[in-house]
Structure 1
Amino acid sequence: MPYTVTPTALPEVMILEPQVFGDARGFFFESFNELDFHKATGLKVHFVQDNHSKSAKGVLRGLHYQIQHPQGKLVRVVQGEVFDVAVDLRKSSSHFGQWVGVHLSEKNHRQLWVPPGFAHGFVVLSDSAEFLYKTTDYWFAEHERSLVWNDPDVGIDWPIDFSPQLAAKDQNGRSLKNADVYL
């Protein structure tokens, strides 16, 4: 199996570790194969958009979601290291408001599947990080929402000892109590 799948505390959020082939020249791995992804996860997903960001140490992006046209995301880091977080925003879920966090880096080659219905974000732990993600739906600015990164009701244990750099939309993110959520 080209992927090893590790469940997280939130059953729908999964860590995927690809089989990496390395030698003195470097390494090779398939970062995505639809058939193998389906076999490993049981999910049939269709990705419509790839995104790539680069951020400096201390930048925190998120926690983002789209209230309409929710996006599933398959995320990974190709340079540097981040702490990546998913928060369940499905009101009907027994895990509503709970979060899971995973270290993703260029060294561990891990990927995280963040299903639709979850907020997603990350903080950069290395000097910089390049972050790639595939999405199951397109971005719609009018449907994008931000959950505030430090909401005490969610209680994310970010592995940082500094105040992160935030975009204005993330500084103005809503608390879980006041956020638009999924049914």
Structure 2
Amino acid sequence: MWSSAAAGDRSPDSFRRLRRRCAARLRALPLHGLDSTEALCRRLSVQRGRPIVLSPMPSDGAVCGLWLALDTTDLVFYDQASTGAHRAHIIAHELSHIICGHRSAEPLDAGTAAHLFPDLDPALVRGMLRRAAYSTVQEREAEITASLLLHLLHAAPAPADGSAADPTAARIAATLTDPPRRRWSPC
């Protein structure tokens, strides 16, 4: 279940408020015409005035994605073993941290840094986000934003006659845009 950091609110309303905040943030961005996470990277690079470089990293089972904000470049790493939709979601999640302006209070440990980036000068690293669990508001916000981003990137235009091309996709889209009003249970 979702909760707010301040009040420990575990209500469906808390989730809806967070989702609305994420959706509003995305509406403020020029995302029209994008159809891939790579296109999103290019658009965000232009907006930020600095390149965003996507790079696979060795799979260690502990970290599937990582964002490093260097002085002049944002590096987004993803598990090299990930494929297709999983890879797109990892990248969208890390890009969501950028979009949301998140920063981490948890530094990358020396062993992991040496394993992943043996040639990287630690003095260059301005900010870093490393996450292995979805326990913080920032992680939930990035996860929701990533899901909304992927929905926007892969949403097909509706047929001209107004009918749904795929009933299952229409139900999923309706769920994303209008969550149910009933009480949710963590079970």
TM range (shorter): under 0.3
- TM-score by length of structure 1 reads 0.27
Higher helix proportion: 2
**Larger RCO, structure (CA 8 Å, separation 6 or more):** 1
Query: Which structure's CA Rg is the greater one?
Result: 2
- TM-score by length of structure 2 reads 0.27
